[in-house]
Amino acid sequence: MALVYDATLEPSKKQLVEGWLPSQPWATGRSLGSKVGEYRFDDPDGEVGVETIVWALDDGSLVQTPLTYRARPLDESEAFLIGTSEHSVLGTRYVYDGCGDPVWAETLTTAILTGGTQAQMYLEQDGERVVVPPRMQVKGSGAAPFAHSLTPLDSVSTDADVTVVRSAGLEIRLPRVVGTPVSGEATLQWLDREGLTLAAVHRAS
C-alpha cells in the first residue's frame, strides 16, 4: 500500500525534475512536458517513498524518472540528489534519482523477480483513505522468492539511454527513454503499453 497525502510540494516534482534533467546525457536538448503516469512500490520499512514517473518530452518521446523521497539525506549519495522539497504534511523531503538508492533497487528487483505489481495507492483525505485508481499497470515476469539486500549498491553507470545498477551479483537495467531495448532474464512490463519493458534484471557477468 502506498499512502499519498492531499498536500503541496514546494518546489513541485516537475520543477525538481526540470532543473535536474539538463544534466542528464539521455535528455540532452529535450524539454519536459506533461506527466503520463506513475507507479509506486512499498518500502518494507515504511521510511522511503518510492515512485517512478513517466513524462512526455517536447519531441514526443517518453522518459521515466525513478524517484525516492526521504526525511533525511542518504549517506554518500550526493551525486544522486535531485533536490529538496517542502511537503506541507511531512516537512522537508530529500528527493533522489532512484537509481542511486538501494531501497528503489530492492523494491524494483523484488517486483520483477517475484512477479509482483505496483503498490495500490491511497489518498489520505480528511482522516480517511481513498483508493487512487492506477494510471499505469506494471507486473514482473518472474515467479521465484527474492529477499536479498542490495545495500550497498556496487555501481551505477549510464550508457546512452540505459542506466545499469549493480549489486549483490545482479544488474538492473533501466531504459531512461521508454522503448529503448534492454536485455535481461526477467522484465518489469508496462502492460498498458503492450508490454513495453521498463526495466530488466539479470545476473551480472
- One-letter amino acid identity for 41? F
| Total structural domains within the chain | 1
Express each pLDDT in 5-16 by its tens digit: 767 889 999 999
The better pLDDT of the pair 66, 87 is held by 66
User: Is a pLDDT exceeding 60 seen at residue 1?
Assistant: no
Starting at the edge strand found earlier in the chain, the sheet holding 186-190 runs: 138-140, 186-190, 196-203, 170-175, 162-167, 155-159
Express each pLDDT in 67-126 by its tens digit: 999 999 999 899 999 999 998 778 899 999 999 999 999 999 999 999 999 998 888 777
User: Is a pLDDT exceeding 70 seen at residue 51?
Assistant: yes
Q: Name 34's Cβ contacts closer than 8 Å, sequence gap at least 6.
A: 55, 56
**Three-state DSSP class for residue 136:** coil
User: Is a pLDDT exceeding 60 seen at residue 32?
Assistant: yes
Q: What mean pLDDT, rounded, does the chain reach? A: 89
Question: What domain range is 69 assigned to?
Answer: 2-203
pTM: 0.92
Tell me what pLDDT residue 205 has: 67
Express each pLDDT in 173-187 by its tens digit: 999 999 888 877 788
Tell me what pLDDT residue 91 has: 86
**Three-state DSSP class for residue 126:** coil
Q: Name 142's Cβ contacts closer than 8 Å, sequence gap at least 6.
A: 112, 113, 114, 115, 186
